[in-house]
Amino acid sequence: MPTFDLPMRTISLDIIIIGKGKIEKDAYAKILAEMIEKTGLTKLERDPKKVALQLLSATSLSDWEVFRDLDAPRYTTVDYYRMACHMIFACQRCGNCCTTGDPIRLRPEDVAAIAKSLKIPLNKALKKYTIQDPKKAGVLDFKHILPCKFYDLSAKGCKIYDIRPWSCRIFPFLGIYGSEDRVLVNELCPGSVETMKILKEAIKIVRADAKMSNVADPAKVRGAKLFLREALNSI
Ligand code: SF4
Ligand code: SF4
């Protein structure tokens, strides 16, 4: 499994693919060219090398060390990796998540938004679309219907995209937890596998760059953390 040695402290971050697939070691340029062609992803702020640079910088000091004065949420190194993945991620619109995802968790406000959008009473929306999660008391899921009732098979998209539930918004990286020392990748989501390949290659390139040697300046680290936290605002 790959190991990332970060500038100030060395940690091991295992990247796990759920399922049987393996990440191939393609050339960075080829992967990036393909990604740009497929997704039109050309925005500078999502450039994988820029994201990798900010990621290595952001994780070189802990949140406790650089946000002492801020009443801000504290995130772990793995959280920042997830944010970086989320920044690079481009959905390939394969529909796997919407056709096989189960359970799909719902917050009360997700159901309220759906009810409002469909112009039906909240009680009706609860009855029609939700069930109590069998394993987690007090948690709601979409009723077990695959594909998801709101998936448009012909258009390959979500019919309620603008108000889709939180768990759909944060999928795949910010929604898959389970370990605080690993970023989990869902093999059924080709976009997530591609993202991991790109991020790994970008990290390799950035780490080989001598300019990386001075990333532990607290002001720069703080800036890098804020840069990555933007991912949470873009959900
Ligand atoms: S609500 Fe939309 S995004 Fe979420 S699973 Fe259903 S179709 Fe997919
Ligand atoms: S499985 Fe991944 S790539 Fe496919 S539609 Fe869902 S989020 Fe997009």
**Is ligand 1 within 6 A of the CB of residue 158?**
yes
Domain boundary among 114, 134, 166: 166
What's the whole-model pTM score? 0.78
Same domain, 140 and 196: no
Same domain, 84 and 22: yes
The predicted structure's pLDDT at residue 163? 94
**Is ligand 1 within 6 A of the CB of residue 150?**
yes
User: How many domains is the chain partitioned into structurally?
Assistant: 2
8 burial via Cβ count (<10 Å: 0-12, 13-18, 19+): middle
Domain boundary among 166, 200, 225: 166
Same domain, 131 and 189: no
Q: Is position 7 within any domain?
A: no
Cα(192) to centroid of ligand 1, in Å? 17
Confidence band, pLDDT 50/70/90 cuts, at residue 23:
very low
Same domain, 120 and 61: no
Same domain, 52 and 147: no
Question: Which residue's CA is minimally distant from atom 4 of ligand 2?
Answer: 94
**Atom nearest to 149 CA in ligand 1:** 6
**Is ligand 1 within 6 A of the CB of residue 148?**
yes
Determine which of 5-14, 166-175, 226-235 has the lowest per-residue pLDDT on average: 5-14
Same domain, 180 and 147: no
Q: Is position 35 within any domain?
A: yes
Cα(144) to centroid of ligand 1, in Å? 13
Token pair 């997700």 is found at: 110
Same domain, 186 and 155: no
Q: Is position 109 within any domain?
A: yes
Judge whether residue 111 has pLDDT over 90.
Answer: yes
158 - beta bridge partners?
Answer: 151
Same domain, 57 and 78: yes
Same domain, 140 and 182: no
Q: Is position 26 within any domain?
A: yes
Q: What is the pLDDT of residues 24-70, one digit of tens each?
A: 444 445 555 555 555 554 444 678 989 999 999 999 999 998 888 77
Q: Is position 39 within any domain?
A: yes
The predicted structure's pLDDT at residue 11? 33
CB 145 within 8 A of CB 155: no
Domain boundary among 166, 196, 219: 166
Q: What is the pLDDT of residues 193-215, one digit of tens each?
A: 889 889 988 888 888 876 665 55
Same domain, 130 and 35: no
Q: Is position 1 within any domain?
A: no
Distance from C-alpha of 204 to C-alpha of 198, rounded to nearest angstrom: 10
Phi, psi at 118, each rounded to 5°: -90, 0
Q: What is the pLDDT of residues 209-233, one digit of tens each?
A: 766 655 578 888 999 999 999 888 8
Same domain, 41 and 154: no
CB 196 within 8 A of CB 108: no
CB 195 within 8 A of CB 103: no
Q: Which domain holds residue 221?
A: 14-67+74-89+174-233
From residue 6, alpha-carbon distances to 1, 66, 152, 173, 219 in Å are 16, 17, 43, 21, 18
**Atom nearest to 150 CA in ligand 1:** 7
Same domain, 179 and 159: no
Q: What is the pLDDT of residues 80-91, one digit of tens each?
A: 999 999 999 988
Q: Is position 43 within any domain?
A: yes
CB 98 within 8 A of CB 120: no
Q: Is position 179 within any domain?
A: yes
Confidence band, pLDDT 50/70/90 cuts, at residue 10:
very low
**Atom nearest to 157 CA in ligand 1:** 7
**Atom nearest to 95 CA in ligand 2:** 5
The predicted structure's pLDDT at residue 4? 32
